[in-house]
Amino acid sequence: MIRFIISKLGLLIPTFIGVTLIAFAFIRVLPGDPIELLAGERGVSPERHAELMALFGFDKPMWEQYIIFLGNILQGDLGQSFITKQPVLDEFLTRFPATVELALCAIIFATLIGLPAGIIAAVKRGSAFDHSLMGVSLAGYSMPIFWWGLLLIILFSSPDMLGWTPVSGRMSAMFWVEPTTGFMLIDTLFFSEEEGAFGSAIHHLILPTIVLGTIPMAVIARQTRSAMLEVLGEDYVRTARAKGLPVGRVIGLHALRNALITVVTVIGLQVGVLLAGAILTESIFSWPGIGKWMVDAIFRRDYFAVQGGLIMVAGIVMIVNLVVDFLYGLINPRILHTR
Amino acid sequence: MSLLDIKNLSVEFQTAHGMFRAVDGVNFNVDKGQILSIVGESGSGKSVSMLALMGLLPWTAKVTADVMTFDGIDLLSISKKERRKIIGKDISMIFQEPMTSLNPCFTVGYQIMEVMKEHLGGTKKELEKRAVELLGMVGIPAPESRLKAYPHQMSGGMNQRVMIAMMIACKPRLLIADEPTTALDVTIQAQILELLVELQKKQDMALVLITHDMGVVAETAERVVVQYAGQQVEKQEVKGLFNHPGHPYTHALLNALPERATDKHLPSIPGVVPGQLDRPKGCLFSPRCEFATDLCHATPPTTTNGVLCHYPLQDGVPTGHPGGQQSKVAGGNG
Ligand SMILES: Nc1ncnc2c1ncn2[C@@H]1O[C@H](COP(=O)(O)OP(=O)(O)OP(=O)(O)O)[C@@H](O)[C@H]1O
Ligand SMILES: [Mg+2]
């Protein structure tokens, strides 16, 4: 097991270097001179321009810029935002919990529906349920997030239609909740005296969760179905039935336990999808997370924010994938207990 | 009354090419504490008929029978729930492939204790004690330490022993062993067979032993059913079968035994078992039978004295055959 983890860690380092290279190049191929952008309409004198270029290190040779950049990252310094003058890392971290909260809700939603649906479809393969689930999940999988979000908003939030759910933010403006953990559900439930704030937080989460969770739900349902179909044909499932065990135990324990080995990996791989989806979802719902922050940063050409955000997101995806690999090892005895 | 009574059991599968009859009119009964052997080449429907009895066939299978009773219980009419109370407890089955028949995600101990918990109940302590006992009984060294092992950490032979331990855990009255040694080394094969027969004696259970090895039949069984292409071609006491086989197919199987070979090379039966698409019109064995006549090719035979043949052999001579005395079987007999 330890060797398994070390080998996975070994793969992480080159990947991370690749990511930093991309992030480093990304900022330098974007059109527009960063200093001019920073100066805005007022313009800047040639002397001041040179001075600022030197200050940010844009005058040095590329390879030297990269070395400095890499060194800074390793020290946890992702630079400063041009606009707010705050350290990028701080800006990222204050918004990160909002995204995590949304992403967690989305993946929980996707799993709670996708997993059982996939299991039932596999057990009743060829049935009407199976066919409709496969159709719906194909639709869900190919649903453009932006369009889907607007559709749901029109249907559920528009006062002319149902008017059930709010359209923007994490919380009604009536409440003020001091961020303790940054997770609104936890803060409102345990650290706030405000009556009704928790309900409002949930209320605000519903639509973004559905919108962000739709694609992972479709993927999880399909993958669970195919993993279960494969496992249900295995000899050990027949053995479990030959033991006279109840159907629930045969399917829910003997078959599912083996199918989960693949499904956990699939769920883990959805983290990248979730973070990409969060960018759009947060923009639609004005959700104050890193997705919206990065979109704003791109429009403002806040280079260091974009660059830092990219590296952080990539790093998080890599760490999550590592955790998934670890989980995979944990639930698969053939890796955990080698001879 | 027999423990297991099967009359005219047939199994049909829905396939892309229409219905396929994998088992066709099989009859036998097993008494308490008796060993019955089912022999036949690959594809002759041995596994399918036993899976039908256990209720383990996929939904594409249609099982019909005039009688299928275990200890007086009609297995055809009971609900799935009632059947689950019987299988794994009173009737258990050991499968062909030990390496894939145990669940890779659970420990050996868990899988053994699970079946006892389901049918007999008991505390974790009691179950563990009994599981260790069982593992010892099937000849696994250091049984305590094996409880926590996973199937992939053990050899095929050890896994088959675990499988046996699991399936005799509830002291079944009937154990079906479906080619329990086919996937194992020759040296291990004999040990596993010995173990099965020993357990059968000790626990006084009936044993249905499926095999395609006539040698195994000779060493273990009391009665034999010979199956060919889903049909039961012969049913006899083991001694009679070896000395006076009634069906040309049985005779050919016996001739294929190494110790019976008269020449330097082993005689084999030419051809293969017919599949779904190449079924002969008359007797299913006729394309491979040395005595086949026009009658055999055109009309399916009926069973007389337990032998499904137009010209059942008597002392190696096909009775009523137009070739008469000249058509005595090659290689002699007895
Ligand atoms: N699920 C199924 N659907 C269709 N046909 C099947 C199915 N299972 C088995 N068969 C067919 O039934 C026939 C009998 O198969 P069975 O497994 O009983 O043979 P067997 O006598 O046990 O052979 P072996 O010695 O190889 O185990 C074969 O021709 C097989 O292809
Ligand atoms: Mg078989």
Question: Per residue in A71-98, pLDDT tens?
Answer: 988 888 888 887 788 898 999 999 999 9
Contacts of A239 in chain B (CB under 8 A): 95, 101-103, 163
Instruction: Say what the pLDDT of residue A37 is.
Output: 63
Say if residue B70's pLDDT is above 70: yes
pTM: 0.83
| Residues above pLDDT 70, as percent of chain B | 95
Distance CA B142, CA B140 (A): 7
Distance CA A240, CA A226 (A): 20
A37 belongs to a structural domain: no
Count of domains in chain A?
1
Nearest CB partner across the interface for B101, out of A236, A244, A245: A236
Question: Quick one: DSSP state of residue B122?
Answer: -
A121 belongs to a structural domain: yes
Say what the ipTM of the complex is. 0.88
Distance CA B250, CA B262 (A): 17
Helix (H) or strand (E) holding B4: strand B4-15
Distance CA A8, CA A94 (A): 30
And the tokens for B61? Answer: 């299978």
Instruction: Say what the pLDDT of residue A123 is.
Output: 94
CA–CA distances in Å: residue A225 to residues A216, A260, B58: 14, 11, 18
User: In degrees, to the nearest 5, what angle opens at C-alpha A31 toward C-alphas A30 and A35?
Assistant: 95
Say if residue B164's pLDDT is above 80: yes
Instruction: Say what the pLDDT of residue B274 is.
Output: 84
Contacts of A238 in chain B (CB under 8 A): 56, 95, 101
Residue nearest to atom 2 of ligand 1 (CA): B13
Say if residue B30's pLDDT is above 50: yes
Q: State how far residue B95 is from chain A, nearest Cα, in angstroms.
A: 8
Ligand 1 centroid distance, CA of A124 (Å)? 24
A208 belongs to a structural domain: yes
Tell me which ligand sits closest to the C-alpha of residue B50: 1
* Chain A interface mutation, best of B101, B110, B113, B127, highest count of A Cβ atoms under 10 Å: B101
A206 belongs to a structural domain: yes
Instruction: Name the residue ranges covered by the structural domains of chain B.
Output: 30-56+79-226, 245-327
Atom of ligand 1 nearest to the CA of B11: 12
A289 belongs to a structural domain: yes
Say if residue A145's pLDDT is above 50: yes
For residue B54, the chain A residue with the least C-alpha distance is: A242
Mean pLDDT of chain A: 85
CA–CA distances in Å: residue B324 to residues B316, B319, B320, B328: 12, 8, 7, 8
Q: Beta partners for A87?
A: A80
Residue nearest to atom 26 of ligand 1 (CA): B42
Say if residue B94's pLDDT is above 90: yes
Instruction: Say what the pLDDT of residue B62 is.
Output: 94
Say if residue B266's pLDDT is above 70: no
How many Cα atoms occupy the beta-carbon half-sphere of B275 within 13 Å?
3
Distance CA A131, CA A122 (A): 11
Residue nearest to atom 7 of ligand 1 (CA): B13
Say if residue A209's pLDDT is above 90: yes
A17 belongs to a structural domain: no
Instruction: Say what the pLDDT of residue B328 is.
Output: 64
Of B42, B39, B13, B14, give the one whose Cα is nearest residue B26.
B39
Instruction: Say what the pLDDT of residue A40 is.
Output: 64
Ligand 2 centroid distance, CA of B54 (Å)? 14
Residue nearest to atom 31 of ligand 1 (CA): B43
Name the residue with higher pLDDT: B325 or B295: B295
Name the residue with higher pLDDT: B173 or A57: B173
A209 belongs to a structural domain: yes
Is domain B30-56+79-226 given the CATH code 1.20.120.430 in the classification?
A: no
pLDDT band at B263 (very low <50, low <70, confident <90, very high): low
For residue A261, the chain B residue with the least C-alpha distance is: B105
Instruction: Say what the pLDDT of residue A142 is.
Output: 85
Residue A226 backbone class (left: φ over 0; alpha: ψ -120 to 50; beta: rest): alpha
Which residues line ion ligand 2, judged by CB < 5 Å? Answer: B 47
What 3-state DSSP class applies to B311? coil
Judge: B115–A334 Cβ closer than 8 Å, yes or no: no
Instruction: Say what the pLDDT of residue A132 is.
Output: 93
Say if residue A180's pLDDT is above 80: no
User: In degrees, to the nearest 5, what angle opens at C-alpha B181 toward C-alphas B183 and B84?
Assistant: 100
Nearest CB partner across the interface for A242, out of B54, B119, B150: B54
Residues 256-275 of chain A whose Cβ lies under 8 A from any Cβ of chain B: 257-258, 261
- Return the number of other C-beta atoms located less than 10 Å from residue B202's C-beta: 10
Mean of pLDDT values over A2-25: 82
Say if residue B333's pLDDT is above 80: no
Distance CA A47, CA B259 (A): 105
| Residues above pLDDT 90, as percent of chain B | 57
A12 belongs to a structural domain: no
pLDDT band at A214 (very low <50, low <70, confident <90, very high): very high
Look up residue A108 and give its amino acid: I
CA–CA distances in Å: residue B27 to residues A299, B56, B57, B76, B199: 81, 19, 19, 15, 26
Task: Tell me whether A252 touches chain B (CB under 8 Å).
Answer: no
Instruction: Say what the pLDDT of residue B72 is.
Output: 92
Lowest mean pLDDT among A335-339, B169-173, B238-242: A335-339
Distance CA B178, CA A68 (A): 70
pLDDT band at A339 (very low <50, low <70, confident <90, very high): very low
- Return the number of other C-beta atoms located less than 10 Å from residue A256's C-beta: 20
Instruction: Choose the residue to mutate in B46, B53, B211, B227 for probing ligand 1, maximizing ligand atoms within 8 Å of C-beta.
Output: B46
pLDDT band at B332 (very low <50, low <70, confident <90, very high): very low
Mean pLDDT of chain B: 89
Nearest CB partner across the interface for B105, out of A235, A245, A333: A333
* Chain B interface mutation, best of A124, A234, A243, highest count of B Cβ atoms under 10 Å: A243
State the distance between the two ends of chain B, measured CA to CA, in whole angstroms.
33
pLDDT in tens, A272-330: 888 888 888 998 888 889 999 988 888 887 878 888 888 898 888 888 888 888 888 78
pLDDT band at A106 (very low <50, low <70, confident <90, very high): very high
Q: State how far residue A245 is from chain B, nearest Cα, in angstroms.
A: 7
Domain of A189, in residue numbers? 88-336
pLDDT band at A39 (very low <50, low <70, confident <90, very high): low
Question: Do the beta carbons of residue A95 and residue A288 sit within 8 Å?
Answer: yes
CA dihedral for B281, B283, B285, B291, sign (positive or negative): negative
pLDDT band at A38 (very low <50, low <70, confident <90, very high): low
Name the residue with higher pLDDT: A42 or A166: A166
Ligand 1 first shell, C-beta below 6 A: B 13, 15, 20, 22, 40, 42-48, 58, 60, 179, 212, 275
Mean of pLDDT values over A222-246: 95
Name the residue with higher pLDDT: A45 or B286: B286
Of A252, A240, A236, give the one whose Cα is nearest residue B88.
A240
**For strand B231-237 and strand B223-228, is the pairing parallel, antiparallel, or unpaired?**
antiparallel
Name the residue with higher pLDDT: A25 or B148: B148
Mean of pLDDT values over B226-230: 92
**For strand B35-39 and strand B223-228, is the pairing parallel, antiparallel, or unpaired?**
parallel
Task: Tell me whether A28 touches chain B (CB under 8 Å).
Answer: no
- Return the number of other C-beta atoms located less than 10 Å from residue A330's C-beta: 12
Name the residue with higher pLDDT: A33 or B2: B2
Residue nearest to atom 5 of ligand 1 (CA): B13
For residue B51, the chain A residue with the least C-alpha distance is: A242
Ligand 1 centroid distance, CA of B275 (Å)? 10
Q: State how far residue B10 is from chain A, nearest Cα, in angstroms.
A: 20
Task: Tell me whether B54 touches chain A (CB under 8 Å).
Answer: yes
Judge: B114–A245 Cβ closer than 8 Å, yes or no: yes
Say if residue B151's pLDDT is above 90: yes
